[in-house]
Amino acid sequence: MSVTDRPDDSPGGQAARRRTFAIISHPDAGKSTLTESLALNAQAIDEAGHIHGKAGRSATVSDWMGMEKERGISISSASMQLQHRDVVLNLLDTPGHADFSEDTYRVLAAVDAAVMLIDAAKGLEPQTMKLFRVCRHRNIPIITVINKWDRPGKEALELIDEIREETGLTPTPVTWPVGIAGDFRGYVERGTGDLTLIRATPGGRQAAEEEHLDADQVDRVAQELPELAEALEESELLEASGADHDQDTFLAGISTPVFFAAAVRHLGVPRLLDALTELAPPPEPRPDVDGAPRQLDAPFSAFTFKIQSGMDAAHRDRLAFVRVCSGVFHRGMTVTSARTGRPFSMKYAHLAFGRTRDVVDVAYPGDVVGIVNASALRIGDTLFEAEPVVYPPLPRFAPEHFAVARPADMGRMKQFRRGVDQLEAEGVIQVLRSERRGTHVPVLAAVGPMQFEVVEHRLREEFRSPSKLEPLGHSLARATDTDSAEELAAMAGVEVLERSDGQLLALFRDRWHLLGIERTRKHLTLEALVAA
């Protein structure tokens, strides 16, 4: 996983070798499986950890949390660095469940491209569309992968039409499958007419076997492979409709190149690795909070997009993930935190590969570095050297679920408080407090109820403090101010609490309750929060 230096060691020259991307999809579309297959085919691991069927699967490399292994889903984001054809791939796997949309949004703020994974049988699903809209809002180019082509599913042309109708993007298949869903024989390279025949290895724990035939050799297998004629005919139909890849429209967010794969058996994944190196954009100058781009060759700058503890049970440390935006990171360098104005030493830095870590000495724009025990850092913090810069803040989503939290054993109150503070710093949960309840009785606020399950699990397992959560009858929050807070707090069914960042939130039973108050008390400050 070490980065091989090139003759041009300038930040801009090294950035040209980087591709930083996230994988997004609906739960159970195969994100973590694709992540591991990419690692296997990039020769970062020797054997896949996935065994067919969730009841008998071993954990994938990127799913390290106990709850992830138990449920077979990703509930925390993971970062890893791969190399393919002298290109450095910074891959960010994201939580699949909608309850963790806020974590996914923060990850998307740190990438330059996205891989949108679609289940061949289910097509575009709600969470996929929600994340697609986030990518479009942030002008993130999208590569589409139709996954699980080794299982029965929809017809390829039907899926292409669905992508066009649901997203508004022009799908431009780069590869076209030979064989229907459930009978994946290989794929045609639409730009050249070349054919790749594929065969999974027994058990799917090793990379698939591939045979590449150029256009002149295709005729010799046509008689043995009747599915090839249909694939070529459909490819010609796509060409006639103008569905050929164009790099400019892809980068502009107008079109999306499409690939077919079966990640669990590693079919079509090597071609995706090539596509990421060829098509995904390298890092570009990132705009600061005022919209001015910070040039890649400017002095070092970065921002924190995730904080995670508990990844290494042996050390109980805390890792802050920072995306390098400009300059060169050197382990041990001292930088300035834009939020506090104080110096910050980055003495202990790692490249994270799931739970596995390697010490990193140097990193360039586009790289993601894990800073160990960075207790002074918060999500969204900007770090810089020499020339000050502040990057745009990362928004916090509007919570819809609220619960009072208490330790099950009052003798473990110290551990309980430390755990709640840690989970809040990581962005796992929002913590609200008020004088009426007492600062020792926090109200936890979540986008989705599964966040509460994560809190209970981690408080019990990591901090040895089992907790009791008492749901509150609120489902809506609005930002307010001190002038309005007293009047709101006196109303039936309304509670006003303060978030850790100082923002006052007014909680309401439901939308009708809020609308009634807004109609009769128009002088009150009630501002909508960012929707998940």
Could you write out the three-class secondary structure of 416-438?
HHHHHHHHHHHCCCEEEECCCCC
**Residue 86: other Cβ atoms inside 10 A:** 9
In 32-102, DSSP assigns E strands to 78-84, 87-93
Q: Is 96 labelled as part of a ligand binding site?
A: yes
The CA-based angle 355-356-357, given to 5 degrees, is 120
Q: Whole-angstrom Cα distance, residue 210 to residue 270?
A: 9
CB neighbour class for 125 (10 Å; exposed up to 12, middle 13-18, buried from 19): middle
Q: Which of 179, 169, 152, 182 is nearest to 234 (CA)?
A: 179
Q: Is 27 labelled as part of a ligand binding site?
A: no
Q: Whole-angstrom Cα distance, residue 92 to residue 398?
A: 24
Q: Which of 130, 238, 261 is nearest to 190 (CA)?
A: 238
- H helices of 25-99, in order, are 31-41, 66-71
Q: Is 287 within 8 Å of 343 (Cβ atoms)?
A: no
Q: Is 49 labelled as part of a ligand binding site?
A: no
Q: Locate tokens 């993930």: which residue?
A: 321
**Residue 509: other Cβ atoms inside 10 A:** 15
Q: Is 368 within 8 Å of 349 (Cβ atoms)?
A: no
Q: Whole-angstrom Cα distance, residue 442 to residue 180?
A: 54
Q: Is 247 within 8 Å of 257 (Cβ atoms)?
A: no
Q: Whole-angstrom Cα distance, residue 62 to residue 451?
A: 19
Q: Is 401 labelled as part of a ligand binding site?
A: no
In angstroms, what CA-CA distances link 492 with 488, 489, 498?
9, 8, 19
Q: Is 270 labelled as part of a ligand binding site?
A: no
Instruction: Give the pair of three-digit tokens for residue 302.
Output: 């970065």
Residue stretches of the annotated binding site:
93-97
Residue stretches of the annotated binding site for GTP:
93-97
